[in-house]
């Protein structure tokens, strides 16, 4: 196996594992800010307990995000040295800015969040929570800036750099703000944030729904679920709009990526259809088993039913061809999941309004597991974005004459001196470690969920004999909360 | 002072910040298994728990700043020392997990696993950092394009291993002095003895490495011949090292810790002076070295990054100070209290 393939595999594996955590902490960060704000304003103890409980969840996820995040920063240098030399001037700046603006903020105030409950005032704790949430937002800004620059480079020029008589081209910043606000930054940033909010909301809903179903921590669970549902609904609806803007942006700046997303091989005559699903096939250059809506892609791209959208046949000579099947399926899976999130949250809202939400056990069970779909949606969105960018690590841009310049092929980006057996070794190593981390993550979340938000009193059974036993059992039974009555939940 | 030099200095500041701050929590990690019983171990973890993550960010930011300011050096070092960086990652991942997850359950086997994880990963990371510095001092084979040409075993030369030993003893001492500041009672009395022992070990390695450097790496000592500034740093370093035992003797653990910080910072400065103007010294072909000029980003980018650092670093220092203030108290953990 060649070193390019292995390095791509390693990057995909490590970034996908890492990306389980950042969107969750961004999403939960917003939740924590809200809960502590309410606690500060109302003094309601339930908000305090809720804030503590979700902070514990946040802590577990943040720790894994940190542990797996440092791998990413090292990997540009270890596996993609040629890429690093080519883009360091631009891309490195964004990474350094992330360190200075985001990481110090997050890691510093996280300590107050986790260990400072008894050490600082409520107001300062709230401030620390805001700073951690802000830090995770800053972090996403700089990472998305860096990645968006790879997708739609701007504000740079190619300059010949020389080392000991060896001259080579590299990208250098000409306009910092153009680099930061390159054509895709804002669209993609909003998309990433909304994805994070959806995940945070579904995470909250999952655990709360489970408590409702198990009839535990009822008041906490009902309120958490309702809050999560509200956030999830708004974010899912907004994501539809954001998704449209992103697709539109991709059609202008990365036409071959859009063609791969849509499985659009041949330009053809007249309007271009939109495939709802299907199985793209490079051999026949078509989508098998597809259900397509005629003219819809033309409508979305050109606002006209009859203007053909450029297919890969016209684009792949200049842009190359991304892996169509993977781009198509990950893109479509993301969209279908997004639709499912909209449908399920709207339906749940309707049930909530009717007062029947918490008695629909099947719907609650759906939300217990839907968080996994939200993870999948975040991951496949990125798979579509990154696979669709291929075969480039830095996408080429048209110069004044329409000539494509400035691109760097993924195959040309790997380190000069790293050999495939080294990468294979590190893949196996990360495989072992991340498997262990995954098991730990599930174990610790499961444990924290079972412990729940209450500081539950340790019930040490009294030494009982004979008639006393029955009395003790009756006495303890009296402490069991009454079964949940759905008719009361609308209050 | 040109921008390249400023960024060289700023990288030195980040590295010194990292060595001072993460230095003590690496030291606490290496000493961790000497703590007896769960309460003492929880005291050790709690003494660094709120701050270690922020301390490690200095390293992450050093990496990011190296990438931005000197991408050629970043690319050459990270890809050339592939296996070493993978080991560093293993160490840092296990360290983070051990620190964060040890207290999550009460099972003794669970806690013992993460106790060992914390100690081994801290030791491994420290040795690797020391070996890295050692290789930076002796130089590594680069080709004319500035790409590493050696293998993994080149890096494990005796000099670099000795610097690895110096790093271990230095952080052990630094960590012991920090623990002395954060503990009370009989545990603190035990740690008092560790301070002396680790100080002795540190001075031994310090003398050894200094002598060997003086004899075998003439390039490293030339700044002393020409620059009074270099002399001043060397004198400060020596005074700091010498003042530690006095402070220990008078039982001024705060001053001992400050002196230890100063000694660490001065050693990082001496490293910078020895390397200057190289980032990666080529040996045996010095002409192939990557310097702060040929490995740098454009002047425009260095200028932009200076603005970024100028805006960001005051904030960083402010909230680092706030966090250390919030968690300034000594750690006291009762044996029966199983949280924390």
Report the gap between the CA of A95 and the closest CA in chain B (Å): 6
Angle at A117 between CA A114 and CA A121, to 5 degrees: 130
Least confident of A8-12, A486-490, B203-207, B331-335: A486-490
**Residue range A139-168: mean pLDDT, rounded:** 91
Nearest CA in chain B to A106: B54
In B, minimum Cα distance to A425 occurs at B83
Q: In a mutagenesis test of the B interface, which of A10, A56, A70 is the best target, namely the one with the most B β-carbons within 10 Å?
A: A70
From residue A326, alpha-carbon distances to A191, A279, A323, A427, A464 in Å are 20, 10, 6, 22, 65
Q: Are A263 and A280 in contact (CB under 8 A)?
A: yes
In tens, the pLDDT along A78-98 reads 999 999 999 999 998 999 999
* Residue A200 near residue A377, CB atoms below 8 Å: no
Decide if B298 and A429 are in contact by the 8 Å CB cutoff.
Answer: no
What pLDDT digit, counting tens, does each position of B199-246 carry?
999 999 999 999 999 888 888 888 777 888 888 898 999 999 999 999
Of A89, A115, A119, the CB nearest to B297: A89
Q: Considering only CB atoms, which chain B residues are within 8 Å of A455?
A: none
Question: Which residue in chain B is spatially nearest to A92 when comparing CA positions?
Answer: B68
The reply to whether residue B67 touches residue A95, judged by beta carbons under 8 angstroms, is yes
User: Would the pLDDT of B338 be above 90?
Assistant: no
Considering only the beta carbons, identify the residue of A103, A170, A418 that sits closest to B57.
A103
- What residues of A are in contact with residue B327 (Cβ under 8 Å)? 111, 115-116, 119
Contact A111 B323 (CB under 8 A): yes
Pairing of strands A397-398, A404-405: antiparallel
Which member of A82, A97, A444 has the closest CB to residue B104? A444
Cβ separation B85–A107 shorter than 8 A:
no
**pLDDT for res A302:** 86
Q: Which residues on adjacent β-strands are paired with residue A404?
A: A398
| Cβ–Cβ gap B301/A90 under 8 Å | yes
Partners of A416 on chain B (C-beta within 8 Å) are 79, 147
Q: What is the pLDDT of residue A130?
A: 94
Residues A341 and A194: their CA atoms lie apart, in Å, by 12
Confidence of residue B334 (pLDDT cuts 50, 70, 90): low
Report the residue of A81, A178, A419 to disrupt the B interface, i.e. the one with the largest count of B CBs within 10 Å.
Answer: A81
Separation of CA A181 from chain center: 21
Rounded Cα–Cα distance for residues A467 and A481 (Å): 24
Q: For A100, which residue in chain B has the nearest alpha carbon?
A: B312
Q: Which residue of A has its CA nearest to B317?
A: A104
Closest chain B C-alpha to A85 CA, distance in angstroms = 5
CB contact under 8 A, B300 and A172: yes
**Across the interface, do B68 and A95 touch by the CB < 8 Å criterion?**
yes
B54/A107 touch (CB, cutoff 8 Å), yes or no: yes
**Residue numbers in A near B70 (CB within 8 A):** 88
Looking at beta carbons, which residues of chain B come within 8 Å of A429?
86, 90
Q: How many residues does chain B have?
A: 340
Look at B75 and A88 and tell me if their CB atoms are within 8 Å. Answer: yes
pLDDT at A465 over 60: no
Q: How many angstroms separate the CA of residue B90 from the nearest CA in chain A?
A: 8
B145 vs A107: CB contact, 8 Å cut-off?
no
Closest CA to A18 of A58, A54, A57, A70: A70
In a mutagenesis test of the A interface, which of B154, B326, B329, B332 is the best target, namely the one with the most A β-carbons within 10 Å? B326
- pLDDT mean over A169-193: 93
Q: Chain A residue with minimal CA distance to B68?
A: A92
* Interchain contact, A97 vs B82, CB within 8 Å: no
**Is it the case that residue A490 has pLDDT exceeding 90?**
no
The string of pLDDT tens digits covering residues A403-434 is: 888 889 999 999 988 889 999 999 999 999 99
DSSP B34: G
Comparing C-alpha atoms, which of B167, B92, B77 is closest to residue B129? B167
Mean pLDDT of chain B: 89
Distance from A32 to chain B by nearest Cα, in Å?
19
Chain A hits for B290, Cβ within 8 Å: 163
B308 contacts A77? CB cut-off 8 A: no
The whole-angstrom distance between B101's CA and the closest CA on chain A is 8
Q: What chain B residue is nearest to A176 in terms of C-alpha separation?
A: B304
> Could you give the ipTM of this predicted complex?
0.89
Q: Measured between CB atoms, which of B57, B67, B68 is closest to A77?
A: B67
CB contact under 8 A, A418 and B86: no
Q: How far is A232 from chain B (nearest CA, A)?
A: 30
Distance from CA of A208 to the nearest CA of B (A): 22
* pLDDT over threshold 60, residue A3: yes
Substitution target from B18, B53, B313, B338 for chain A, most A beta carbons within 10 A:
B53
Question: How far off is chain A from B170, nearest CA to CA, in Å?
Answer: 25
- Model confidence pLDDT, tens digit, residues B155-212: 888 999 999 999 999 999 999 999 999 888 888 889 999 999 999 999 999 999 999 9
- Binning pLDDT at 50, 70 and 90, where does residue A463 land? very low
Question: Looking at the predicted structure, is the pLDDT value of residue A296 above 90?
Answer: no
Q: Dump pLDDT digits (tens) for A302-353.
A: 888 888 888 888 888 889 899 999 999 999 999 999 999 999 999 999 999 9
The residue of chain B with its CA nearest to that of A432 is B90
Q: Inspect the interface and report whether the beta carbons of A66 and B101 lie closer than 8 Å.
A: no
Q: Which of B79, B144, B298 sits opposite A164 (nearest CB)?
A: B144
Inter-chain residue contact A89 with B68, CB threshold 8 Å: yes
Closest CA–CA distance from residue B247 to any residue of chain A (Å): 30
pLDDT attached to residue A455: 60
Partner-chain residue, chosen from B53, B288, B315, that has the shortest CB–CB distance to A110: B53
Q: What is the mean pLDDT of residues B89-100?
A: 92
Of the pLDDT bands very low, low, confident and very high (cuts 50, 70, 90), residue B325 is confident
Give residue A457's pLDDT band: very low, low, confident or very high (50, 70, 90): very low
């Amino acid at each position: 196996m060649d070193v390019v393939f292995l390095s791509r595999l390693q990057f995909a594996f490590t970034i996908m594992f890492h990306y389980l955590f950042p969107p969750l902490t961004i999403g939960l960060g917003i939740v924590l800010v809200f809960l502590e704000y309410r606690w500060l304003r109302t003094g309601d103890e339930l908000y305090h307990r809720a804030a503590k409980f979700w902070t514990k969840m946040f802590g577990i996820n943040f720790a894994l995000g940190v542990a797996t995040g440092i791998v990413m920063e090292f990997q540009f240098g270890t596996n993609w040295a040629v890429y690093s030399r080519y883009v360091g001037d631009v891309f490195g700046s964004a990474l350094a800015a992330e360190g200075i603006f985001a990481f110090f903020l997050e890691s510093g105030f996280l300590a107050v969040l986790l260990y400072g409950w008894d050490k600082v005032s409520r107001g300062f704790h709230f401030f620390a929570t805001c700073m951690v949430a802000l830090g995770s937002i800053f972090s996403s800004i700089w990472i998305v800036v860096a990645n968006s620059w790879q997708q739609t480079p701007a504000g740079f020029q190619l300059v010949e750099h020389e080392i000991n008589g060896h001259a080579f081209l590299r990208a250098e910043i000409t306009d910092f703000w153009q680099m930061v606000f390159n054509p895709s930054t804002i669209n993609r940033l909003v998309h990433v944030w909304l994805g994070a909010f959806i995940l945070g909301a579904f995470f909250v809903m999952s655990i709360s729904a489970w408590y409702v179903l198990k009839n535990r921590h009822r008041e906490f669970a009902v309120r958490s679920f309702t809050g999560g549902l509200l956030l999830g609904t708004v974010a899912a609806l907004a994501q539809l709009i954001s998704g449209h803007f992103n697709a539109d942006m991709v059609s202008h700046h990365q036409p071959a990526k859009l063609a791969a997303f849509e499985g659009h091989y041949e330009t053809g005559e007249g309007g271009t259809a939109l495939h709802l699903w299907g199985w793209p096939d490079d051999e026949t250059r078509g989508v098998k088993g597809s259900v397509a809506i005629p003219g819809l892609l033309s409508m979305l791209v050109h606002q006209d039913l009859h203007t053909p959208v450029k297919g890969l046949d016209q684009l792949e000579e200049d842009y190359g061809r991304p892996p169509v099947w993977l781009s198509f399926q990950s893109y479509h899976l993301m969209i279908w999941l997004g639709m499912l999130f909209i449908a399920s949250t709207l339906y749940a809202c309707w049930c909530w309004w009717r007062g029947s939400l918490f008695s629909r056990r099947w719907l609650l069970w759906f939300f217990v597991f839907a968080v996994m779909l939200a993870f999948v949606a975040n991951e496949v969105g990125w798979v579509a974005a990154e696979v669709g960018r291929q075969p480039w690590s830095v996408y080429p841009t048209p110069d004044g004459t329409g000539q494509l310049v400035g691109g760097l092929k993924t195959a040309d980006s790997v380190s000069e001196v790293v050999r495939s057996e080294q990468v294979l070794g590190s893949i196996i190593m990360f495989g072992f470690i991340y498997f262990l981390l995954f098991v730990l993550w599930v174990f610790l979340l499961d444990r924290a969920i079972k412990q729940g938000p209450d500081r539950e009193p340790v019930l040490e059974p009294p030494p009982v004999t004979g008639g006393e036993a029955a009395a003790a059992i009756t006495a303890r039974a009296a402490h069991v909360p009454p079964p949940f009555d759905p008719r009361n939940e609308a209050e | 002072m040109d921008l390249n030099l400023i960024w060289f200095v700023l990288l030195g500041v980040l590295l010194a910040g990292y060595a001072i701050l993460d230095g003590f929590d690496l030291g606490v990690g290496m000493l961790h298994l000497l703590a007896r019983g769960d309460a003492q171990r929880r005291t050790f973890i709690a003494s660094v728990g709120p701050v270690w993550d922020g301390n490690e960010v200095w390293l992450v930011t050093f990496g990011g700043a190296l990438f931005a300011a000197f991408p050629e050096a970043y690319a050459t070092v990270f890809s050339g020392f592939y296996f070493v960086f993978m080991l560093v990652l293993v160490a840092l991942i296990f360290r983070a997990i051990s620190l964060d997850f040890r207290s999550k359950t009460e099972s003794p086997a669970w806690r013992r696993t993460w106790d060992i994880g914390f100690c081994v990963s801290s030791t491994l990371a420290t040795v690797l950092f020391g070996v890295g510095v050692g290789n930076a001092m002796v130089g590594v084979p680069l080709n004319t394009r500035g790409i590493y040409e050696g293998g993994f075993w080149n890096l494990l030369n005796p000099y670099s291993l000795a610097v690895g030993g110096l790093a271990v003893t230095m952080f052990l001492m630094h960590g012991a002095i920090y623990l002395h500041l954060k503990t009370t009672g009989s545990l603190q009395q035990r740690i008092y003895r560790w301070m002396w022992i680790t100080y002795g070990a540190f001075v031994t390695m310090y003398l050894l490495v200094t002598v060997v450097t003086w004899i075998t790496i003439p390039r490293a000592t030339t700044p002393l011949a020409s620059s009074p500034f270099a002399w001043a740093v060397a004198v400060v370093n020596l005074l700091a090292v010498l003042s530690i035992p006095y402070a220990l003797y008078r039982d001024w653990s705060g001053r001992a810790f400050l002196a230890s910080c100063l000694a660490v910072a001065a050693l990082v400065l001496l490293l910078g002076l020895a390397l200057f103007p190289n980032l990666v010294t080529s040996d045996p072909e010095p002409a192939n070295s990557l310097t702060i000029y040929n490995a740098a980003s454009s002047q425009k980018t260095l200028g932009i990054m200076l603005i970024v650092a100028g805006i960001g670093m005051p904030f960083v220092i402010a909230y680092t100070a706030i966090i250390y203030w919030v968690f300034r108290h000594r750690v006291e953990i009762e044996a029966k209290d199983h949280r924390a």
